[in-house]
Amino acid sequence: MSACTETRQQMLSYWKGHGKPSLEMMMLDSNAASIADRETQEILGMLPPVDGLDVVELGAGIGRFTKHLAPLAGSLHASDFMQNFIDKNREDNGHHSNLTLAVADATQMTMPADCCDLVFSNWLFMYLDDEEVRGVFARILDWLRPGGHFFFRESCFHRSGSVARTDNPTKYRSPQKYNELLLEAAYGSHRFGHVFTRPSRTYVSTKGNRNQMCWLVRKTPLSSPDEIDRMKAAHKSLMNGPSDEKLEFVLAEGSEAAALCDYLGVQPGETVLDVGCGLGDTSCLLAKKYDANVIGFDIAGPLISLALQRANQLGVQNVLFELADIETCELYEEETFDVIYCRDVMHYVTDKGSVLAKFYKWLKPGGRLCLTDYCPLKNQPNTVDDSSADVSAAYSRDAYISALKSAGFADSTVTTDDLTPRFESAALAKCRILEQARHLFVQQFNESSRFEQAQVNWQRRLAMCQSGELAWILYHVTKQ
């Protein structure tokens, strides 16, 4: 018997062992009825508009999501490899004329290229091995039309349901493993581009479980033939990063983070968004020391995965981590946050006005924005090459104040502090740490060029501050 056939038989036995198809069986949770409606609406709310789209639903089960997708979609092809699941789905949803139901193994399915706009699955890939996931991801990319979306949700790290299981063949991967499998699925001239990765808030609020992760990705053209290789190398270098005792040279400076957190005046129970959270140290500090409810947000998938793992290891409960691009995401409702903290991110942002407007929208009335960034100073000669300091797109202080006002913040609420001496002190310490840890950095990241680039970045920023060409400014503003 082949490994694939053996896996399928194992899964058939696993699901047959759970008895008659039911909601509790689908969610493997004896309390399914108490959370199902809320969780279903949350998942559906993460999807792009479905109206009129051609949709493929994999692992459709008894139709928990089929019944919501069918009335909206232009066409819906729903499949599952369990006959009794499809029978139940047909009994409940077969009256929809745009719905096709089929018994099919997702690892063996074939469909025409460019045939659908959305592929949806909920708890499927954790029942497949890595090679099977890689193959299904590649086929989904082929099935999607350019710009089409793929949504999936999986249990990461450990089981979540409460139903007893004598044999559990489920693969509880890390979020980063799924990110890597998505990269490896690149097909022809396209890849999956991330829209977001985020946890199910229902499971967080009802079970204290932040490991139910949801992905929305889009079929995106490759920008160059070597784009995937470059992305894989970047992921590998981050995920092969240093062990906990050697993280000193890649983590944010602890004392500086603590000082800025104190400046924020965060109160217990307040909701905080940490933009550009990286490895999540400041997010964890805000959650643990100040008892805030924190969402850490970053564009780098490997860092988000590491942040989630570190929060689990540290036992920090009231912090979530989400992956998205701040320039394109629309993840949060109006008036969600009491505090938005954004440290040294905005000089990377192209459309700063649009992002500041999002911050204004996401803040509650009376909410505070605390933002630090590198700012070029006027009327100073450019004696230091800034090409490798990552600050060429930075705003001046006046430009920031103008952009904040344009975003909706009242001029009277904007205060600024020049923290350049603090930055110089921190940058000197950073350069010393980098030099002392050169051999560890190169050994752990396996990239001497990356070490040299990091070192040059810090040295150039420090030189520009010392020459009076660059300042490190803190902006504090309140939404009235």
Q: Out of 12-16, 118-122, 367-371, which region has the weakest mean confidence (pLDDT)?
A: 12-16
Nearest partner of 185 among 113, 129, 131, judged by Cα: 131
Nearest partner of 23 among 14, 33, 13, judged by Cα: 33
The mean pLDDT of 435-463, rounded to a whole number, is 65
**CA distance linking residue 215 with residue 219, whole number of Å:** 13
- For 423-479, where are the E strands, in sequence order? 470-478
Q: State how beta strands 99-103 and 116-122 pair.
A: unpaired
| Cα 374 → chain centroid | 25
**CA distance linking residue 325 with residue 148, whole number of Å:** 18
Q: Considering only the top CATH level, what class is 241-478?
A: alpha beta
| Neighbour tally for 245: CB within 10 Å | 6
Return the bridge partners of 376, or none: 470
- State the pLDDT at residue 1: 44
- State the pLDDT at residue 242: 41
Reported as a single tens digit per residue, the pLDDT across 125-176 is: 999 999 999 999 999 999 999 999 999 999 998 776 555 555 667 889 989 8
- State the pLDDT at residue 65: 96
**CA distance linking residue 390 with residue 371, whole number of Å:** 17
CB within 8 A of 277, min separation 6: which ones? 283, 296, 297, 298, 303, 304, 307, 321
b/e map 432-457, b = 16+ CB within 10 Å: ebbeebeeebeebbebeebbeebbeb
Place of tokens 């056939």: 5
Reported as a single tens digit per residue, the pLDDT across 262-314 is: 888 899 999 999 999 988 888 998 998 899 999 999 988 888 888 888 888 88
Greater confidence, 272 or 251?
272
Q: Answer yes or no: are the C-beta atoms of 191 and 227 closer than 8 Å.
A: yes
Q: Out of 221-230, 325-334, 388-397, which region has the weakest mean confidence (pLDDT)?
A: 388-397
Q: Out of 227-241, 335-349, 447-461, which region has the weakest mean confidence (pLDDT)?
A: 227-241
- pLDDT bracket for residue 14 (50, 70, 90): low
- State the pLDDT at residue 283: 92
Give the residue range(s) of CATH 3.40.50.150 domains in the chain: 3-234, 241-478
Greater confidence, 66 or 470?
66
Crossing angle of helices 438-445/420-436, nearest 10°? 70
**CA distance linking residue 337 with residue 297, whole number of Å:** 13
Mean pLDDT of the chain: 83
- pLDDT bracket for residue 261 (50, 70, 90): confident
- State the pLDDT at residue 248: 38
The mean pLDDT of 2-28, rounded to a whole number, is 59
Reported as a single tens digit per residue, the pLDDT across 22-59 is: 666 666 666 777 788 899 999 999 999 999 999 999 99
- State the pLDDT at residue 236: 61
For residue 185, pLDDT over 60 is answered with yes
For residue 361, pLDDT over 50 is answered with yes
Greater confidence, 423 or 79?
79
- pLDDT bracket for residue 3 (50, 70, 90): low
- pLDDT bracket for residue 223 (50, 70, 90): confident
**CA distance linking residue 93 with residue 407, whole number of Å:** 47
The mean pLDDT of 170-183, rounded to a whole number, is 90
Which fold would CATH assign to domain 3-234? Rossmann fold (3.40.50)
Return the bridge partners of 77, or none: 56, 100
Q: What does 142-200 look like in DSSP terms, one character per residue?
A: HHEEEEEEEEEEEE-SS----S--S--------HHHHHHHHHHT-BTTEEEEEEEEEE-
- State the pLDDT at residue 397: 87
Nearest partner of 423 among 260, 184, 208, 206, judged by Cα: 260
- State the pLDDT at residue 83: 92
**CA distance linking residue 140 with residue 148, whole number of Å:** 10
Collapsing DSSP to helix, strand or coil, 304 comes out as helix
Residues counted in the chain: 480
**CA distance linking residue 175 with residue 148, whole number of Å:** 22
Reported as a single tens digit per residue, the pLDDT across 392-443 is: 667 888 999 999 999 999 988 899 998 888 777 777 776 776 666 666 555 5
For residue 181, pLDDT over 90 is answered with yes
**CA distance linking residue 197 with residue 118, whole number of Å:** 17
Q: State how beta strands 116-122 and 54-58 pair.
A: parallel
Share of the chain above pLDDT 90, in %: 48
- State the pLDDT at residue 256: 65
For residue 96, pLDDT over 50 is answered with yes
Share of the chain above pLDDT 70, in %: 78
